[in-house]
């Protein structure tokens, strides 16, 4: 097993303990109270979760909701640090993820996640939600316009799809360029046909 996978396994087990240790202990009875104690200690001393906290960025939550949100933010920091360090440094991949783990633990213990980052995350989530619904509305409008036969909108939609595929690596740049050229030819053909139809109707 590679060092990176060991780091992932350890972090995954610790996160599982923090998130599910208490519910498991409550459901199994008194003999498993050590899971509840371990969950609290790991959450406090490894991830920086303050015991009894339930308010996040001015929003009152249940204790478990606070716990989940905190852990998800910690996970975002962890994978972001790991990817950035692994991509832009000369460190071995295993070392990069160990450094990412250390930095994420420091971020949690310093209280950064529950402070400014919490407020920024709250606004970011609202902005992201608005952007998603705006994109959905745009897609519906484009769908209706395409089905009403507006060829210019059809071309715009296809170009956006091609650009998205190039960015995601599904198509090469040359392949996308060829597709755009063919799309222009089709668009010209549609316009030519529309002009001919208009001329014929005028003659009649």
Above 80 in pLDDT, residue 158?
no
Above 70 in pLDDT, residue 76?
yes
**3-state helix/strand/coil string of 136-147:** HHHHHHHHHHHH
Per-residue pLDDT band for 140 (boundaries 50, 70, 90) equals: confident
CB 96 within 8 A of CB 85: yes
| Separation between Cα atoms, residue 80 and residue 112, nearest integer Å | 15
Dihedral (C-alpha) 70, 71, 74, 80: value to the nearest 10 degrees?
A: -130
* Reported pTM: 0.67
Neighbours of 197 (CB within 10 A): 10
Strand partners, 59: 56
The residue among 20, 11, 125 whose CA lies nearest residue 79 is 11
Average pLDDT, the chain: 77
């Amino acid at each position: 097993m590679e060092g990176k996978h060991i780091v992932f396994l350890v972090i995954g087990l610790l996160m599982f303990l923090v998130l599910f240790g208490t519910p498991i202990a409550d459901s199994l009875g008194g003999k498993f109270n050590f899971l509840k104690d371990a969950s609290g200690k790991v959450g406090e001393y490894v991830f920086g979760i303050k015991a009894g906290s339930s308010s996040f960025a001015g929003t009152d939550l249940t204790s478990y909701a606070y716990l989940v949100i905190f852990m998800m933010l910690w996970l975002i920091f962890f994978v972001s640090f790991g990817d950035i360090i692994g991509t832009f440094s000369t460190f071995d991949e295993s070392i990069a993820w160990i450094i990412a783990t250390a930095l994420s633990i420091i971020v949690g213990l310093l209280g950064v996640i529950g402070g400014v980052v919490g407020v920024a995350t709250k606004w970011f989530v609202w902005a992201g939600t608005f952007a998603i619904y705006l994109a959905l509305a745009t897609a519906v409008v484009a769908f209706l316009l395409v089905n009403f036969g507006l060829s210019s909108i059809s071309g715009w939609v296809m170009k956006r799809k091609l650009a998205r595929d190039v960015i995601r690596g599904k198509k090469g740049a040359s392949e996308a360029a060829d597709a755009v050229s063919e799309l222009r030819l089709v668009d010209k053909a549609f316009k030519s046909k529309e002009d001919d139809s208009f001329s014929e109707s005028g003659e009649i």
